[in-house]
Amino acid sequence: MGTENREKVLIVTGGSSGIGAATARLAATRGYSICINYRQKKIDAEGVAREIEREGGRAIIVQADVSVEAEVVKLFETTDSELGCISALVNNAGTLERQMRLDSMEAARIQRVFATNVIGSFLCAREAVRRMSTKNGGSGGSIVNISSGASRLGSPSEYIDYAASKGAVDTLTIGLAKEVAEEGIRVNAVRPGFIYTDLHMKGGESGRVDRLKTQVPMQRGGQPEEVAAAILWLLSSEASYVTGAIVDVGGGR
């Protein structure tokens, strides 16, 4: 891949909490310099960066709404100037809204969800490819998109808009992997199941994982660190012949 012999630089979008924060922490222990992107949670992002620095790692925080093109461009340009050209991207930033049926949803809600989850993932992947592609003079790299088990299950009566947006992330992963396979870039996805994160609070049910965990063959919810481990494997040279893959981290569901 060409990324193991130079400084490894990773952007984690939505890196201030949950899966993003766990990924940033673990990646720092693997020798990555980390850009922690956040939209609103500056204090949380600063906390993750301080943890990394206390352990001898290198981290910066950059505010950007990934659904806004100009802010995505600035995110990558800031990383270029402060850490160097990226070798890895984790498209983790995502959102959902309160649980409801489709017949109660307004268009504005659906647009907000798709703007972050789909357009944001596309824009960040675009900027990564522009820098990584050997066709553009880059040294290759790895992209991991964060999907969701919802893309397979549909999340009926809760948030099918979120589920559909993650279906688009799956398709982005498959198509982009083929598009840039000859340019030194691998593109994969991780599809978490019921994971203990703050995202469920946005849906209006903080205890959702505990309610649903009996549907999981392993009979428990997952931890962000378990998802981060799968992400870091996909980023690493150990997965050098893996691209276009979608890895389920859902306890068998």
Contact indicator for 234, 242 with CB cutoff of 8 Å: yes
Dist CA 192 CA 209 (whole Å): 12
The encoded tokens of residue 241 equal: 């012949």
CA distances from 158 to 45, 55, 57, 225 (A): 29, 40, 40, 25
Dist CA 160 CA 170 (whole Å): 15
- Is 241 a known active-site residue? no
Q: Which of 32, 159, 162, 241 is catalytic?
A: 162
Dist CA 162 CA 55 (whole Å): 36
Q: Residues 198-207: contacts with CB within 8 Å, 24+ apart?
A: 198/17, 198/18, 199/18, 199/94, 199/95, 199/96, 202/95, 202/96, 202/97, 202/98, 203/96, 203/97, 203/98, 203/99, 203/158, 203/159, 204/98, 204/99, 205/99
Dist CA 82 CA 25 (whole Å): 19
Q: Which residues are catalytic?
A: 162
